[in-house]
Amino acid sequence: MEDLDLDYVKTQYLPRAVAPEILEANRRPLEQQLHSLRLMRNGRPTWGGLLGFGREVQDWLPGAYIQFVRFEGADVTSAIRDQKTLTGRLEDVLRLLDELLELNVSIRTWVSGVVREQRQVDYPVDALRQLVRNAVMHRNYEGTHAPVRVHWFSDRVSVWSPGGLYGQVNKENFGTGVTDYRNPLVAEVMHHLGFAQRFGMGIPLARKRLAENGNPPPDFELAPTHVSVTVYPAA
């Protein structure tokens, strides 16, 4: 249990994962509560428990991070403008990602007519956020130390996730709301932490936000070993 941040679990996660009246009436020891939430099994943290609440997550799951690189040009040989490695607990990684995406979008402003000002971002942050969260939720954490990669080029943004499609999701129904979970506990933790409000809606929502902003549709690559998506800026 010492490998989990128990104060964080008690003060931040349990109030979001369990109804207040149930939490108030629950007199079980914390270890039993962690077992009931599948954060522990047989006296040890589960992999999902470590990912969400581990003190040193990458000691146990070396690939559980997001690599962000902003390039000056249109390929990986271009000069690097900025790069970040987002590590730590799942909530910390996703909140750092949100901040990073906000900082990197550009806003174009022009005046329509005499007094009305119009503004447009090159990439809608909510679309990028949904795509990266989807990559974190559905990636393969076993048999690989590869991170989720966000590569921001001068003409596109690419999100790469290790692991192909899973379960009943296939190339024909991908992104239509059909769901299956390689990592159901990760999905549950993200939901309780507020990073996945409606399961199966991440990609449809990203497509909607891109269309509303005037961006081309996202371009997905569905390979046996990975899933990637490329987003192009608004015209």
The structural domains of the chain, with segments of one domain joined by +, span: 6-60, 66-231
Q: What is the pLDDT of residues 92-108, one digit of tens each?
A: 999 999 999 999 999 88
d(CA 216, CA 39): 40
Please give the C-alpha separations between residue 140 and each of 10, 130, 160, 181, 198, in angstroms, as whole numbers: 28, 18, 12, 11, 21
Report residue 221: phi and psi, to 5°.
Answer: -120, 120
Closest CA to 70 of 62, 79, 61: 79
Mean pLDDT of the region 170-186: 86
pLDDT band at 198 (very low <50, low <70, confident <90, very high): low
pLDDT in tens, 7-52: 999 999 999 998 887 777 777 888 999 999 999 999 999 999 999 9
- Give the mean model confidence (pLDDT) for residues 171-196: 88
Instruction: Say what the pTM is.
Output: 0.90
Domain 66-231 has CATH 3.30.565.60: yes
User: Which region among 61-65, 161-165, 172-176, 216-220 has the lowest average model confidence (pLDDT)?
Assistant: 172-176
The pLDDT assigned to 189 comes to 95
175 sits in the region (left: phi over 0; alpha: psi -120 to 50; else beta) called left
